[in-house]
Chain A
Amino acid sequence: MQPEVMQVYQQPLPAWIFIPICFAAAVWFIVNILLCVWVYRDAESRGMGGAIWLIIILIGGIVGLIIYLVVRKEKAGAPPLPPTQPVPPVLRICTACGRVVSPDARFCPHCGKVLPE
């Protein structure tokens, strides 16, 4: 069986279809711009030549972004610190009576002993 020949003249698309088309196109356009801006600033902050990467993203789109994320250099300066453990409050014990005293107390309020600095 011969495949049907695609109509050379196709029905024109209904006019209303262009509303969602234009909306979708506008959103993707904005997303692309935002992406370019982000990559430009990120590349500049890593000393990687934002302008070149901007062009790569413009041409390459999402694949350009993947390439950028793969090859981008570590940020200059220390790597992010691991999350620190919450520091427990310092407790101070009176050496004479063993009760808890305030860290900046000069003498123990319980037994009156003068506390070392």
Chain B
Amino acid sequence: MSPMEDNLVQVFNDIGRLVCHRIPERTFYVGGAFLPVCARDTGVYIGLYVGYLLLFMRRREARGPPNLWVTLLMSLPMIVDAATQFIGLRMSTNAFRLLTGLFFGTALAPFLVYLLATIPLSMRLPILRKVLPEEVILDDKTSWLSSKALVIGFLLATIIFLLINSVTGSTDPLFYWLLSPLIIASIILHILLLPIFLAISGLHYLRRRFKPKDKSL
């Protein structure tokens, strides 16, 4: 890679280092460089994109969360994979880490968005009101995202897994430059921008809560 590319790889690695152990044996080596994060984190950060795609299938008139059972089922493989390895029961593989991470990320994104929607409309940031105009009720029996939609997510995640897994052995830098920016963007979005958004939302919520007369809806 050129010196400029090497510098960028270093920047990516530094960002990845902030959030991930990057143990070499557990990180994919693609196109001449290690990916910014380990296999499992790669799966999660890419899986989140798949999860956001699923939101196009949400039922706006429903008020309950995305099907919680399927969300849980898709999250558990990663937990089991990590836990059984942690306690020394078995050693996982990068492929398995990637796959379980993808499932978790796919299930997590709609759930996270739903949690944002639990903020009452009047207390929401205007931009969130535009993006998520619906009010939701946690106890409601109707699912915002059906089990069918989540199963489609499961299938999409599997396809993405097969795609990524097929290029992880490649020496072509193209695949590094395809994957790494996506991963880095996801890290910045979820680890930095999301907290900023949550902090602003929280302050906005508190302002509305304690000064209802001053602010018009």
Contacts and interface: CB of A to CB of B under 8 A. Distances in A.
Interface of A: 1, 3-6, 10-11, 13, 17, 20-21, 23-24, 27-28, 30-31, 62-63, 66-67, 69-70, 75, 80
B71 A6 contact: no
Q: Is the interface of B mostly helix, strand, loop or mixed?
A: helix
Nearest to A75: B139
B113 interface: no
Q: Number of contact residues on B: which range applies?
A: 20 to 34
Nearest to A18: B18
B72 interface: yes
B138 interface: yes
B95 to A, nearest CB: 17
Given A1-B171, A17-B18, A63-B75, A70 B198 contact: no
Interface in B170-204: 171, 191-192, 195-196, 198-199, 202
Contacts of A75: 139
Contacts of B111: 62, 66
26 contacts: A3-B34, A4-B32, A4-B33, A6-B24, A6-B34, A10-B17, A11-B10, A11-B14, A13-B17, A17-B18, A20-B192, A27-B198, A28-B195, A30-B202, A31-B198, A62-B111, A62-B112, A63-B76, A63-B79, A66-B68, A66-B72, A66-B75, A69-B65, A69-B138, A75-B139, A80-B139
Contact of A70 (B13, B72, B171): B72
B144 interface: no
